[in-house]
């Protein structure tokens, strides 16, 4: 994980407004959200590993499943996940486990972040700052 200093840290927005601004840029709300926090993820690359710029957010008024929720943006960071190739030999079988756990366990959930992706992440963060906090 590589934290990125940004002017968007600790700013507050309607989640709806964030979605309207970030989704057209290629961000998605990551699957690991709950009722009080989540992430906007931007996939930088997926050749050797999955490289993401991740922007965390936390509900400050309401919960994420409530229309009109206000969120506070936290410090963006870069994340790399290396996944094993082929079939996951340790995967559990069964109707419920197959429906819930469809993905392989990362071989390295906090892989090394190459310099080129750090620069891409910083550039993308600057672009997000311009969208969210126009000068």
31-68 pLDDT, tens digit per residue, is: 777 889 999 999 999 887 889 999 999 999 888 888 88
Q: Using CA atoms, how far apart are residues 15 and 64, in angstroms rounded to an integer?
A: 8
Query: What integer pLDDT is reported at residue 108 of this predicted model?
Result: 55
User: What angle is formed at CA 15 by the lines to CA 127 and CA 20, rounded to 5 degrees?
Assistant: 55
Query: What integer pLDDT is reported at residue 101 of this predicted model?
Result: 42
Query: What integer pLDDT is reported at residue 66 of this predicted model?
Result: 82
Q: Using CA atoms, how far apart are residues 5 and 88, in angstroms rounded to an integer?
A: 37
What angle do helix axes 15-22 and 115-132 make, rounded to 10 degrees?
120
Q: Using CA atoms, how far apart are residues 6 and 38, in angstroms rounded to an integer?
A: 18
For the whole model, what pTM was predicted?
Answer: 0.79
pLDDT digits (tens, 9 = 90+) for 22-36: 999 999 998 777 889
Class of domain 2-86+105-132: alpha beta
The C-alpha R_g of the chain, in whole angstroms, comes to: 16
Unique residue bearing structure tokens 């190459």: 114
Query: Hey, where are the domains in the chain?
Result: 2-86+105-132
Query: What integer pLDDT is reported at residue 99 of this predicted model?
Result: 46
Query: What integer pLDDT is reported at residue 55 of this predicted model?
Result: 97
Query: What integer pLDDT is reported at residue 93 of this predicted model?
Result: 53
């Amino acid at each position: 994980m590589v934290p990125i200093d940004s002017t968007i840290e600790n700013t507050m927005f309607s989640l709806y407004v964030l979605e309207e601004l970030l989704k057209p840029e290629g961000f998605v709300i990551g699957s690991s959200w709950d009722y009080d926090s989540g992430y906007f993820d931007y996939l930088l690359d997926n050749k050797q590993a999955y490289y993401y710029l991740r922007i965390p957010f936390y509900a400050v008024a309401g919960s994420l499943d409530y229309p009109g929720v206000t969120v506070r943006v936290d410090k963006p960071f870069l994340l790399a996940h290396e996944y094993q190739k082929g079939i996951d030999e340790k995967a559990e079988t069964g109707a419920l486990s197959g429906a819930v756990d469809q993905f392989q366990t990362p071989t390295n959930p906090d892989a090394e972040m190459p310099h080129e992706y750090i620069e891409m992440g910083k550039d993308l963060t600057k672009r997000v700052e311009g969208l969210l906090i126009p000068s």
